Amino acid sequence: MSITEHVTEIFERIGAPVAFSADGEIVCRTPIDGSELGRLTADTAASVADKVGEAHAAFEQWRTVPAPARGAFVRELGELLREHKDDLGALVTIEAGKIVSEGQGEVQEMIDICDLAVGLSRQLHGLTIASERPGHRMMEQWHPLGVVGVISAFNFPVAVWSWNAALAFVCGDSVVWKPSEKTVLTALACRAIAAEAARRTGAPEGLLQVVVGAREVGEALVDDPRVPLVSATGSTRMGKEVAPRVAARLGRTLLELGGNNAAIIAPSADLDLAVRGIVFSAVGTAGQRCTSLRRVIVHESIKDELVSRLVAAYETLPIGSPLDGGTLVGPLIDASAAQGFEKAIDQARSDGGTVLTGGTTAEGIEGGHYVHPAIVDMPAQTEIVKAETFAPLLYVLTYRDLDEAIALHNGVAQGLSSAIFTMDVREAELFVSATGSDCGIANVNIGTSGAEIGGAFGGEKETGGGRESGSDAWRNYMRRATNTINYSTELPLAQGVDFG
């Protein structure tokens, strides 16, 4: 069966055929062999405005539904995602090039966040606060916010949407989603599934709108004053364009941008764990995760052993079609990603780096962009090491004492994910302390990628400062009201003010 036939079958099972149009501006492709799957008509500024209007109308209805009843819709969404897990996972593999278990893992992440959101739907609570005035009570309420704009990147075509949408829905919001123009089909499949969940539970169908297109469509969403929150996931470049536009209308942003994640490997590290953690984090999803490991900072006393074990592991990595069961490294998303990989390696070489393994084109499926993951030993943290190259390229830097390692670690503009491998409790605690890693995620004895949904996800500095998913991230999707209630017959003023 061809990949296109596979896609058609998946949409039939989901019950929502895709309206391909021969002259559509958006070309849906698979990175597996670069072939075209079909074309879609892009939204216009006018159609984006219409969809925001529909989402706003749905919000006005939805905010009156009690939160636990809103949870019933998200529970149904989670059930339907369970039912369609294999199909949605296959679409992720076809559109983003992830290996089968990672494609399915992404759908599992959607299911998990739905479960978390259903629980939350009974716990969206505020505080009761002691008032300084007699016969008064203060309290905080969290109210639905409005239409949430979600802009997502190609490398997590569905999970990022669900982190935002599942919470937004239980919080009483509607969502307008602009998926990456490289992964529109998975978004359309999710829209169909969410519409079915709405039909089954009586939720407004307009709760989820999908707008299709590239940055102009994103800009129309970003500029719409009826969208109080724009949650944008993608490159730091994109975040720097989106943030000032939303700020100009005093809207809120939740930014999840680029990372340049590092792991410190200390002398006491369990090297078996470290090698496994490094290899998964650096080459999983062909190095195309925001949390992918890009820098190893290793103590000079164990560098040779670590590097030789890493090189040995890299040289046996199965590279090829992500549809094949044994593959661990699939394709890069497109030609420009492959060029970025090559250019970064050339620059690292001219900065004095030595390529220890990989860095060349790999045999994969014709038409796709497959590479041998690279490890490059660097004499210093040069500009290219400080930049995020979205490909399986791992730099090795060497340190003598932990302060130097932490300085190197924090000496980049991004601040997403980080790790230390050590058996020394002092080193581990220092790394996760206020003077250790400056990232939003700091791990001990596990790699930088593969976060669970229970924790708040996001990073500092040029990663944008947003937090999604678990912990108290739900508060982003609500507005806080502070209420003071006077149940006395007097009208005392705060701070003892006397007004006649």
Catalytic residues: 256
Measured from the CB of residue 240, what is the shortest distance to ligand NAD in angstroms? 9
Q: Which is nearer to ligand NAD, 91 or 274 (CB)?
A: 91
Residues within window 377-406 making contact with ligand NAD, judged by CB under 6 A: 388, 390
Cβ proximity to ligand NAD: between 227 and 430 the closer is 227
The single residue among 59, 62, 73, 156 that binds ligand NAD, judged by CB under 6 A, is: 156
Residue 350, both tokens: 């001219």
Which residue carries 């809120």 as its tokens?
252
Which positions from 329 through 388 interact with ligand NAD, judged by CB under 6 A? 388
Q: How many CB atoms lie within 10 A of CB 42?
A: 17
- The answer to whether residues 357 and 372 touch, using CB atoms and an 8 Å cutoff, is yes
User: Nearest distance from residue 412's CB to ligand NAD, in Å?
Assistant: 13
Question: Among residue numbers 168 through 207, which ones bind ligand NAD (CB under 6 A)?
Answer: 178, 180-181
Question: Residue 5 belongs to what H/E stretch?
Answer: helix 3-14
Sheet with 174-178: strands ordered across: 208-210, 174-178, 147-151, 229-233, 252-256
Residue 150 or 198: which CB sits closer to ligand NAD? Answer: 150
The conformation of residue 356, written as its DSSP 8-state character, comes to: E
282 binds ligand NAD per the rule CB under 6 A: no
Q: Does 242 bind ligand NAD (CB under 6 A)?
A: yes
Q: If binding is defined by CB under 6 A, does position 258 make contact with ligand NAD? A: yes
Q: Which helix (H) or strand (E) holds 394?
A: strand 393-399
Which is nearer to ligand NAD, 75 or 178 (by Cβ)? 178
CB nearer to ligand NAD: pick between 242 and 296: 242
Rounded to whole angstroms, the Cα distance separating 258 from 155 reads 12
Least distance in angstroms from the C-beta of 216 to ligand NAD: 8
Instruction: Confirm or reject binding of residue 231 to ligand NAD (CB under 6 A).
Output: no
Stretch that binds ligand NAD, among 126-134, 145-153, 312-320, 359-367 (CB under 6 A): 145-153
| Range 288-310 burial, b when 16+ CB lie within 10 A, else e | bbbbbbbbbbbbeebbeebbebb
CA atoms of 258 and 270, how far apart (whole Å):
29
- Judged on CB neighbours under 10 Å (0-12, 13-18, 19+), 490 is exposed
- Of the residues 256, 427, 438, 462, which one makes contact with ligand NAD according to CB under 6 A: 256
Residue 290, interface with ligand NAD (CB under 6 A)? yes
Residue ranges of alpha helices (H) inside 351-397 are 383-386
3-state secondary structure of 193: helix
Return the residue of 28, 111, 185, 257 that touches ligand NAD, per CB under 6 A: 257
Q: DSSP class of residue 492? A: P
Which positions lie near ligand NAD, rule CB under 6 A? 151-156, 160, 178, 180-181, 214-215, 218-219, 222, 233-235, 238, 241-242, 256-259, 290, 388, 390, 416, 463
